Amino acid sequence: MKPTADSTDDDLAARLTEIERLLGTDPAAADARAAALLAAVPGQPMARLFQGIARRLGGRPAAAAEVLGALCETEAEAPLPHLQLGLALQESGERERAVLAMQRAVAIRPDFSDAWLALGDLLYAAGRAAEADAAYCSYARHALQEPRLARPAALLRDNRLAEAEAMLRGLLGDHPTDVCAQSLMADLAMRRAQFDVAGELLAGCLERAPGYRPARHNYAVVLLRQGRPQEALRQVDALLAGDAASYELRTLKAAVLLRLASYDEAVAVYEDVVADYPQRAAAWASLGHAQRTLGRLDGCLRAYRKAAELEPGSGEAAWNLANLKTYRIGDAELDAMQAQLGRPDLAAGDRIHFHFAVGKALEDRGEFDAAFRHYADGNRLQRARVDYDPDDMTRHVQRCKTLLTREFFAARRDRGAAADDPIFVVGLPRSGSTLVEQILASHSAVEGTMELPHVIGMAKSLSERAPANGAGRYPELLADLGADACSELGRSYIAQISVQRKMGTAHFIDKMPNNFAHIGLIQLMLPRARIIDVRRQPMACGLSLFRHLFAHGQYFSYSLPDIGRYYRDYVDLMEHFELALPGRVYRLHYEDLVEHTECEVRRLLAYCGLPFEQSCLEFHRNRRAVSTPSSEQVRRPVFRDGLVQWRHFESWLEPLRRELGAAESAKKR
């Protein structure tokens, strides 16, 4: 449609602009102005369009349809009148005619995203689900090219989350069924680790548009992050049905299979992927990780080397090799890594990984001062990249101590589910918890799983549903959980873990070390569960943390003072629970386990209510999958090197010792 039909009227454009402005504020005035213009310029198409819109916005859809229907006859190839006619007919209750009008609009202009969205809404309301899905997917194909959605999408890519959120809330306020805006808002929630929020948004999006593949892909990722791998697998399989060769989907499926403890299947998927995509270094690295979990170290090493060969500038590939406890970096490999560090254009993430890899290689050579300098450089760079406030843990500990008293638990002694299946192994990473898990998992009545995210996820879910301030926050909200809610949380946890349990044993291990911060929640929902606190000498534990580059999380570990403070907070909280729940948590010192293995194993099994089995002393013979960085170590007999290794770096560790304070010599029980 042309904006003018009679060029003799010099102020026509100005009059049309004024009418358009009034549409949003005073539809009746816009109708009147349009009528006046049409009296002066009969048949002017834009004036007729605005008059129809004004009548629709003014609550007169039948009158609008009359004007717009006539306009569609004279402007048959203009898409906007057909869309507006469809909206007017919809509001008049003439659904079938409305569908035809909107279908005509998109037939004229196939990239008319507004019309596709309106058509999708109309078809969905009519119960025509398959047609609605097709319309919504057509909308999604075109809408992200338009500024109103392209702009927030760009802001998300730049991690400017607050600006993106403001724009997306505005879009959803105007049109809550906009599946693209919903999907982008879910992306924002995922970046904030608000997986419950993201899941709800994506579920709503897929309810309307089940064929919207990007949303389904993100939903699978969210389900995986929520600890719901079986549901995630269903989503991935649905996507693979339409794109069986997809590299991204196949690697995502393998990641889901790993979470399901289907390790052999995951390895098979990765092997197929590298066969089809032999130049993808990331696929080789993932194959190496999976084989390492299964103890297939020869295959793991081949895969890691292939990844490093394909991407010599990849710091992660170098770190994967260096971090293998049974492999030593050769001179040529070390020279190549150091040469990469000399590149001014090396990406920050690669530089960090190379520093850790070179540090490990130099440590293995006994060059401890040079090794520490690389560890320090890598940690300094990584600390600058993570958002970590040490005050957060200190505040959490103080709030737990205030709330979770002996009296608090005594008043709730009958809460929670009756299950006694779980054995929680908590503490700090690098404290010996994998060794404890391997010992217990060598018992015939116990199954080892992995570092399960479910308790932390439950705490986060409770937090997301609570008010932002005041007593409704976590952990304070635990005070308001009734008996039924506590029991339901316990049952839900057991149900979620069921997919990890393959052996049918009476007990299983949840070895998420950070669960020490959630012992109050564990007590309320699973009061019969065993809880084992594995504690390692703080200087040794602190150095081990500082020497390790974690794949994700553990942000406290990239600064010696941060490590010392976190360890101090951990000890403070565990000492509190010893007073609030006497005898509830079993403390096991790693050094005692190494020096007096059989005695400590017998005591540990007695706490768990398990008879002694010789296999627990022969844990290194257990071929179970182990997914932590200590996987090679626990497949060997107990070794004592870790007890004194920190002494090589003692002169560098004063910042750690200073921050630890009294926690360095916390009393043993």
**pLDDT, tens digit, 9 for 90 and up, residues 555-574:** 999 999 999 999 999 999 99
pLDDT band at residue 629 using 50, 70 and 90 as cut-offs: low
* pLDDT cut 90: percent of the chain above it: 80
CA separation, residue 578 to residues 127, 164, 362, 533, 669 (Å)? 59, 46, 41, 11, 10
What confidence score (pLDDT) does residue 227 get?
A: 83
Taking all residues of the chain, what is their mean pLDDT, rounded to a whole number? 91
Asked whether the predicted pLDDT for residue 5 surpasses 80, the reply is no
Asked whether the predicted pLDDT for residue 628 surpasses 80, the reply is no
Q: For the residues 240-257, what does the mean pLDDT come to?
A: 96
pLDDT band at residue 621 using 50, 70 and 90 as cut-offs: confident
pLDDT in tens, 84-127: 999 999 999 999 999 999 999 999 999 999 999 999 999 999 99
What confidence score (pLDDT) does residue 451 get?
A: 86
* pLDDT cut 70: percent of the chain above it: 94
pLDDT band at residue 326 using 50, 70 and 90 as cut-offs: confident
Q: For the residues 614-623, what does the mean pLDDT come to?
A: 82
Asked whether the predicted pLDDT for residue 3 surpasses 60, the reply is no
What confidence score (pLDDT) does residue 4 get?
A: 45
Q: For the residues 380-402, what does the mean pLDDT come to?
A: 96
What confidence score (pLDDT) does residue 623 get?
A: 61
Task: Transcribe 340-372 into DSSP letters.
Answer: HHT-TT--HHHHHHHHHHHHHHHHHTT-HHHHH
Task: Transcribe 77-120 into DSSP letters.
Answer: T-HHHHHHHHHHHHHTT-HHHHHHHHHHHHHH-TT-HHHHHHHH
What confidence score (pLDDT) does residue 669 get?
A: 44
Question: Going from the N-terminus, what domains does the chain have, and what CATH number goes with each?
Answer: 12-143 (1.25.40.10), 390-665 (3.40.50.300)
pLDDT band at residue 632 using 50, 70 and 90 as cut-offs: very low
Q: For the residues 318-346, what does the mean pLDDT come to?
A: 93
What confidence score (pLDDT) does residue 499 get?
A: 84
Q: For the residues 525-541, what does the mean pLDDT come to?
A: 96
Task: Give the range among 89-103, 553-567, 598-612, 636-650 with minimum mean pLDDT.
Answer: 636-650
pLDDT band at residue 437 using 50, 70 and 90 as cut-offs: very high
Q: For the residues 158-185, what does the mean pLDDT come to?
A: 95
Strand pairing category for 446-448 and 422-427: unpaired
The pTM assigned to this predicted structure is 0.82
Residue 35 or 524, more confident: 524
What confidence score (pLDDT) does residue 663 get?
A: 82
Residue 547 contacts by C-beta under 8 Å, 6 or more apart in sequence? 356, 359, 360, 363, 375
Report the distance separating Cα 15 and Cα 29, nearest Å: 13
Other CB atoms within 10 A of residue 130 CB: 10
CA separation, residue 529 to residues 103, 425, 439, 534, 573 (Å)? 60, 11, 18, 16, 19
pLDDT in tens, 477-505: 999 999 999 999 999 999 999 888 888 89
Asked whether the predicted pLDDT for residue 668 surpasses 80, the reply is no
Asked whether the predicted pLDDT for residue 467 surpasses 70, the reply is no
Task: Transcribe 37-82 into DSSP letters.
Answer: HHHHSTT-HHHHHHHHHHHHHTT-HHHHHHHHHHHHHHSTT-HHHH
pLDDT in tens, 367-382: 999 999 999 999 999 9
What confidence score (pLDDT) does residue 468 get?
A: 52
Other CB atoms within 10 A of residue 510 CB: 27
Residue 39 or 8, more confident: 39
What confidence score (pLDDT) does residue 7 get?
A: 46
pLDDT band at residue 466 using 50, 70 and 90 as cut-offs: low
